[in-house]
Amino acid sequence: MSEKRALIIDDEKLFADFVKQVAEGMGYDVRVTDQADTFKETFKNFDPTVIILDMVMPGVEGIELVNWLAEVGCSAKIMVVTGYNPNYVDFAKTIGSARGLSSVQSYTKPISLADLREALS
């Protein structure tokens, strides 16, 4: 298994594919889903080093997954992203930090190639 493992959950296929392509180009082993149950199962089996988490998806709110990641003691770097109100990702960052997640960063879509590469470095 690669040292660098990225788990992406996003319902926007084009954005998820963009992130996957960039991450793979940087040497990451990547898994992508748009389903919360699949995300949780993959998290347990894949042990990601980076998580890219969309905040607004059908069926699950990103904040629910941030709380779940805190409950399971996630140590991965977490990048929360949204194409909606940027205050939402800041809220998730605050909640994650308060719940003990050590590395939560927030980004607004669209994220530039340079910013994505920097975040994944």
Q: Give the model confidence (pLDDT) of 29-88 as tens digits.
A: 999 999 999 999 999 999 999 999 998 888 898 889 999 999 999 999 999 998 876 677
Decide if pLDDT at 113 tops 90.
yes
Per residue, the 3-state secondary structure of the chain, as one string, reads: CCCCEEEEECCCHHHHHHHHHHHHHCCCEEEEECCHHHHHHHHHHHCCCEEEEECEECCEEHHHHHHHHHHCCCCCEEEEEECCCHHHHHHHHHHHHHCCCCCEEEEECCCCHHHHHHHHC
- Give the pLDDT confidence score for residue 87 in this predicted structure: 72
Decide if pLDDT at 103 tops 90.
no
What's the mean pLDDT when you consider all of the chain? 91
- Give the pLDDT confidence score for residue 95 in this predicted structure: 79
Mean pLDDT of 3-22: 97
- Give the pLDDT confidence score for residue 86 in this predicted structure: 66
